[in-house]
Amino acid sequence: MNPDRAPELHIDADGWCTAARRIESPNSDPRPEGEPVSLVVMHCISLPPGEFGGPYIEELFLNRLDPAAHPYFVDVAPLRVSAHFVVRRNGELLQFVPTTRRAWHAGRSSWGGREGCNDFSVGIELEGCNVLPFEDAQYRCAAALIDALRKRHPVADVVGHSDIAPGRKVDPGACFDWKRLPGVTRPD
């Protein structure tokens, strides 16, 4: 994927993005019967916090994170979490869970009067943190991915983790420029 221009992305019938590097996480399960994807949730992640480029996000989502590799990992290594997608700092797109399955990214959450956002959402993790700007390549990839998701699923809203779990989560954070995602309107 060329990080200097917006990629053309496609989500196939099984829920896999054909341009993403596919790394299947065991941390998923079936969506409730007949539940369409109507929400995209934007997150940010860095492991250890504020550090980028290492193998640790993949290791976390594959349940292989070594708690001895960094003091921060002692608390997060036992977690069983995933997201559908990760967008690396250079715009590389990774996919851990097909969009047809439920990834474990939202936790206790609600949107539009509905609880349990994992049931009806796709989670996109941007490699980053709450206090540093995101990269141009990440915005290009995220915008193309949201467009592909809208072509495949009846996505009505794109929100931050902070919107569905206020007071508990703050990502993607104040440094995330929502205006860089065409067609995305911020919730009131």
Measured CA to CA, the distance from residue 155 to residue 53 in angstroms comes to 30
Instruction: Write out the chain's pLDDT in tens, 188 residues.
Output: 444 556 689 999 999 999 999 999 999 999 999 999 999 999 999 999 999 999 999 999 999 999 999 999 999 999 999 999 999 999 999 999 999 999 999 999 999 999 999 999 999 999 999 999 999 999 999 999 999 999 999 999 999 999 999 999 999 999 999 999 988 988 76
**Res 5: pLDDT:** 59
Amino acid letter, residue 29: D
Every domain of the chain and the residues it spans: 21-176
In this structure, which CATH number among 3.40.50.1820, 3.40.80.10, 2.120.10.30, 2.30.130.10 belongs to the domain 21-176? 3.40.80.10
- Residue in 8, 35, 51, 125 annotated catalytic: 125
- Tell me the Cα Rg of the chain: 15
**Res 11: pLDDT:** 98
Within 13 Å, how many C-alpha atoms sit on residue 52's CB side? 18
End-to-end Cα spacing for the chain: 34
Q: Is 115 a catalytic residue?
A: no
Q: What is the pTM of this model?
A: 0.95
Phi then psi for residue 56, to 5 deg, are -70, -30
**Res 1: pLDDT:** 46
